[in-house]
Amino acid sequence: MFTATLIAKPDTLDATLVENLRNAWGGGEALWLSHAEAAEFTMPVPPDNLWAVWDDMQTLGIDLVLQPSAGRRKKMLLADMDSTMIRQECIDELAAAAGVGERVATITAKAMNGELDFEGALIERVGLLKGLPESIIQHVLDTRITLMPGGYELVQTMKAHDGFAALVSGGFTAFTARIAAALGFDENRANKLLVTDGRLTGDVGKPILGRQAKVDALQEITARLGISESDVIAVGDGANDLGMLGRAGTGVALHAKPSVQKECEVRINHGDLTALLFIQGYARTDFMT
């Protein structure tokens, strides 16, 4: 069996639309996970017109996900941080505070869309931060970083059901440590900005955590927990996330770059991070808040 999940912004999902799609696809009775926000139904086989309907739903501000019903509730969350668990790219915010924001943001966008080598792009961008006082990190954390909606509910709900949550970022440990603590992640991994005499050196600790390091984290943590990679739901938005998104049981492209979306079967463009709970079959009444 397969489960189709429709997710929209609160109070915008039309019941008639859900019923019409259920009937067209020969699905079972619709189950509402959140009133006028999220609904699901099962069907015996995937429809031939899935992606045509997906395109139609996008124009209406609705995310549509189809996946096998069995095993969709996962035991582990593996999440990117920048533009995923937080709204910003940390290095862009550091650069903006340093007065080189536009230049760094351009490099970041190209790297996240897969147009530049991630490691080389990171080294170049960090080099532009050389000489900044270390205190700029705390300033950016306090004044420029905001959480992505739904992140706390996602982490806490999965943990309440015996799940494990790992934050793995190509960003920096100074940021992942704070975000992991705020949201309740069990573990966090990232790159380390090097500091000498209270100022950024313009270099980053080696080895650099990039695309392969995220795959390694997936392998290492699942082995340690004694679970399968199919028990993992992974979420990210950039090209350096594609390795872990492809290996995880469910890989979610969240408000992702076009090149990333093309490689992922599960794409969330309108919902927030609670969409990852809805596609696992959690109702809003199950959320830990």
Each residue's pLDDT tens digit, 173-210: 999 999 999 999 999 999 999 999 999 999 999 999 88
> Is residue 259 within 8 Å of residue 113, measured between CB atoms?
yes
pLDDT tens, position by position, 243-252: 999 999 999 9
Q: pLDDT by residue (tens digit) across 9-36? A: 999 999 999 999 999 999 999 999 999 9
pLDDT score of 43: 97
DSSP state of 60: T
Tell me: pLDDT of 160 over 90.
Answer: yes
Residue ranges of domains in the chain: 1-70, 74-88+146-289
- The average pLDDT across 43-65 equals 97
Which pLDDT belongs to residue 111?
Answer: 81
Superfamily name with CATH number, domain 74-88+146-289: HAD superfamily/HAD-like (3.40.50.1000)
**Is domain 1-70 classified as CATH 3.30.70.260?**
yes
Find the angle CA(229)-CA(233)-CA(234) to the nearest 5 degrees: 95
Answer whether 61's CB lies under 8 Å from 269's CB. Answer: no
CA dihedral 124, 129, 130, 134 (to 10 degrees): -140
Span 48-64, mean pLDDT? Answer: 97
In our burial notation (b when 16+ CB lie closer than 10 A, e otherwise), range 13-24 reads beeebbeebbee
Active-site residues, by number, are: 80, 82
Q: Give CA–CA dist 242/4, Å, rounded.
A: 23
Mean pLDDT score of the chain, rounded to an integer? 95
Question: How does pLDDT run across 82-115, given as a tens digit for each residue?
Answer: 999 999 999 999 989 888 888 888 888 888 888 8
- This prediction has a pTM of 0.94
Q: What is the average per-residue pLDDT within 240-259?
A: 96
- Distance (Å, whole) CA 122 – CA 28: 48
CA distance 32 to 18: 10
pLDDT for residue 116 is more than 90 = no
- The per-residue pLDDT for 20 is 98
